[in-house]
Amino acid sequence: MKVKKTVLSIKPYEAGKPISEVEREYGIKNAVKLASNENPLGFSPKVEGTIKNAVKYLNRYPENRGLREKLAEKYEVSPKNIILGNGSDEILKMFADTLLTPETEAIMTKPSFLVYDIAVKSAGATSVFIPLTDNLDTDFDVIKSKITSKTRIIFLTNPNNPTGYVIKEREFDRFIADIPEDILVIIDEAYVEFARDKEMIKSLMYMKEGANIAVTRTFSKAYGLAGLRIGYSVMPEELALMMNRVRLPFNVNSVAAVAAAAALEDERFLNESLDITHKGIDFLCKELDKMKVAFFPTQANFILIDIKRDADAFFKAMLKDGIIIRSMSSYGYPNYIRVSVGLPEENEKFLNIFEKSI
């Protein structure tokens, strides 16, 4: 086989270690997974009934207009502005497939979500990496300075993964004002529901005002439906028309579509999830402070911690005690770990073992 050079240069995505695998490998029970920023509360009870009903029609191809209409209503846009995906990951890849050729480039920060680079290289294009500042902030001036006639996409993440930082209105206004019209700015907002910072951009407003922006969001995090694979993006209609040419038919399954629609209506569950996340973040930060451990202020449901030692070894040591966290070495931070917020008892168990190991 003659595999594309760009594909050979892709580093395979490493997912957070599954609970069942850890329990089997180490012969333990009740392992706690704080590695993939999942919702520890589960998902809305309204989802279950909807799924049972949807299962009756598994012989039919899916139809997901209902979910697109609900999302359109929520964001005050037309359903024509919305693309659904098998997770927002799939939509990120669709952008690359629609806009990138081997002669073109996409700009992203380093570190950033590994899926961007995978999407760009799968399309045969080149990723241009912009290091974060010393405070792990996005350097918008440097991003701008790297724009060339080859640039087609700029990937931004709000709040960022793995840092938890949000994009502020002031810096973004200055940035977006003179971005060339043939560049799409993708704002990945997988964690936006968790953010409490009042200065954070209202990304959809820019899109509605005519900026060349696509916003991606997901049901995998705050809504707790990671296993179903369902995400969406709000974008200019002209772009959605082109994306729909590339999108495979029936990319979102019928069960996921109705489950997401039910999840969207259950504000009570969403608020409970946000509440337990915020309390968990505040608790973890307070305790890490007491231990004099360096971590980054976060607007998401995870915390990036500087453990000042080899994170891969630390990750393995914690696994033996049944705590699954994420080493950030694959993100280029060999001395950092990322910990997702869990249930109160899971957070405590993490802290106990962390304090013992650090």
Ligand X SMILES: *Cc1c(COP(=O)(O)O)cnc(C)c1O
Residue numbers at the binding site for ligand X (CB under 6 A):
37, 87-89, 113, 157, 161, 188, 190, 218, 220-221, 226, 231
Q: Phi and psi at residue 99, in whole multiples of 5°?
A: -110, -20
Shortest distance in whole angstroms from residue 321 CB to ligand X: 25
Count CA within 13 A, CB hemisphere, residue 341: 27
Nearer to ligand X, 34 or 351 (CB): 34
The candidate with the shortest Cα–Cα distance to 48, out of 301, 272, 224, 251, is: 224
Shortest distance in whole angstroms from residue 92 CB to ligand X: 7
DSSP string, 76-125: TS-GGGEEEESSHHHHHHHHHHHH--TT-EEEEEES--HHHHHHHHHTT-
Write out the H or E segment, with its range, that includes residue 66.
helix 65-75
Nearer to ligand X, 98 or 220 (CB): 220
Separation between Cα atoms, residue 285 and residue 194, nearest integer Å: 16
Shortest distance in whole angstroms from residue 288 CB to ligand X: 21
Nearer to ligand X, 84 or 353 (CB): 84
Shortest distance in whole angstroms from residue 113 CB to ligand X: 4
Nearer to ligand X, 88 or 298 (CB): 88
Shortest distance in whole angstroms from residue 126 CB to ligand X: 21
Nearer to ligand X, 246 or 313 (CB): 246
Shortest distance in whole angstroms from residue 26 CB to ligand X: 26
Nearer to ligand X, 23 or 97 (CB): 97
Q: For the purposes of burial, counting CB atoms within 10 Å of the CB of 286, is it exposed (0-12), middle (13-18) or buried (19 or more)?
A: exposed
Q: Residue 340's Cα: distance from chain center in Å?
A: 13
